[in-house]
Amino acid sequence: MIMQLLRKFLILMLVVTLTACSSFLDQQDTPPSSEQLPLEAVQTPSKEVVNWSSKAIDLFNQANKYLQNDSEKAANLLNQAIIIEPKMEAAYFNLMRLYLDNSKSEEMQLVYIAADKEQVLSARMLNLMATEKRTKGLFREAETLYLSALSKNSTQLSVLANMAILQDLYLHNLPEAQKYYLQYQKQLTAEEKQDKRLANWLADIKRRIAKLNKESN
């Protein structure tokens, strides 16, 4: 009985260890050109954590300590964790984000390919790759990746916001942008969250759509 309780406690502690912040957009009054995602991994299902070796988890946690001030060391530790646990989605995500922040496109692409090979590509990883394509001006490729992300998780806030921004500022497809802004609003409500910028975004795009309709008549 004591051993069972101890095992449950250890599993719970591992889940808590791999839980981090959930903010994803920087605070601006206008749609941002790129999103600000958390570097640390978000909560990972306990069934995955149980299957990860303690060595991989230790390397992952060590890497998180160096994400801000020693990207090379953090990347090395995350790569070691992936070698031990090739299905560790959180390590792939953090590594991709690290390379994105340091403008290492080729390295990021290799991590993306490796994650795809291991069949661990998640919506948030596709979101990162789409954002990288967007910064390069590859807007249609970014759109395809955002759509793939939404096919995996149609309610992920960061993807909905980024798709709206892509359609609005880069593809200039205002009706599509409005659609995704509204989906973003709906999901915020469902999660009982707020984005104070959204009201202005919706009012602005409604005004611009009305102006276009008036000019076309």
Structural domain for 153, as ranges: 139-217
Q: Is residue 140 predicted with pLDDT exceeding 70?
A: yes
Q: Is residue 8 part of a domain?
A: no
Domain count, the chain: 2
Is residue 213 domain-resident? yes
Q: Mind listing the pLDDT tens digit for each residue in 2-11? A: 444 344 434 3
Q: Has residue 36 been placed in a domain?
A: no
Q: Rounded to whole angstroms, how far apart are CA atoms 188 and 61?
A: 30
Here the CATH number for the domain that contains residue 169 is 1.25.40
Residue 28 is assigned to a structural domain of this protein: no
Least confident among 46-50, 79-83, 93-97, 191-195: 46-50
In a domain, 31, yes or no: no
What CATH number is associated with residue 102? 1.25.40.10
Q: Please determine, for residue 22, whether its predicted confidence score (pLDDT) is greater than 50.
A: no
Residue 44 domain-assigned (yes or no):
no
Residue ending a domain, choose from 121, 154, 179: 121
Residues of the chain above pLDDT 90, percent: 72
Q: How far apart are CA 160 and CA 180, in angstroms?
A: 6
pTM: 0.77
User: For residue 131, which of 106, 80, 181, 165 has the smallest C-alpha distance?
Assistant: 165
Hey, what are 75's tokens?
């990347």
Q: Please check whether residue 37 lies inside any domain of the structure.
A: no
Would you call 166 exposed, middle or buried from its count of C-beta atoms within 10 A (0-12, 13-18, 19+)? buried
**207, 158: one domain:** yes
Per residue in 98-132, pLDDT (tens digit) is: 999 999 999 999 999 999 999 999 999 999 999 99
Q: Is residue 46 part of a domain?
A: no
**Short-list 67, 143, 134, 149, CA closest to 101:** 67
